[in-house]
Amino acid sequence: MSILYTAIDLYIPQRAPLNSTAHRKPYLRSTRELCKCLIKKRHLWRKLRINKHDTAIRLKYRECVHQWRHLIQQQQEKTEEHLIEANSIGSLYKFVNKRISSRTGIPPLTNNNNDKLVTIIPRPVCLMIILPV
């Protein structure tokens, strides 16, 4: 039998394994508090699946979900604040292009005269005009 396996290894081409890192989703850093909350949420979900009609577990799970959503929102706000503080137009375009559904990207920022904004000073003013709060 070993002769057969040796012959197979020698004469039949094998498919090379794909690089597993090429197909992974980008790693999102999470705070310790967010990770703990996620673990707690999973634990409560398992308990809730077993005891579907237990209102105490359901209440704890809902509170944990609300806290988890709040922590995610805080993390997203911190990421956006960091992006603004970086004052880099390239990182702004990269951030926006990741989140839009149209994969063609966004064009450069322009003022009312269709001139591209290259200087750093008028960008926030232009963004306030384009994206009103």
- Mean of pLDDT values over 38-50: 95
The pLDDT value given to residue 55: 94
Give CA–CA dist 83/95, Å, rounded: 8
For residues 42 and 22, the model is more confident at 42
Q: What is the pLDDT of residues 102-116, one digit of tens each?
A: 666 666 667 677 777
Assign 46 to helix, strand or coil.
helix
- Mean of pLDDT values over 13-39: 73
Assign 116 to helix, strand or coil.
strand
The yes-or-no verdict on residue 122 having pLDDT over 50 is no
The pLDDT value given to residue 34: 92
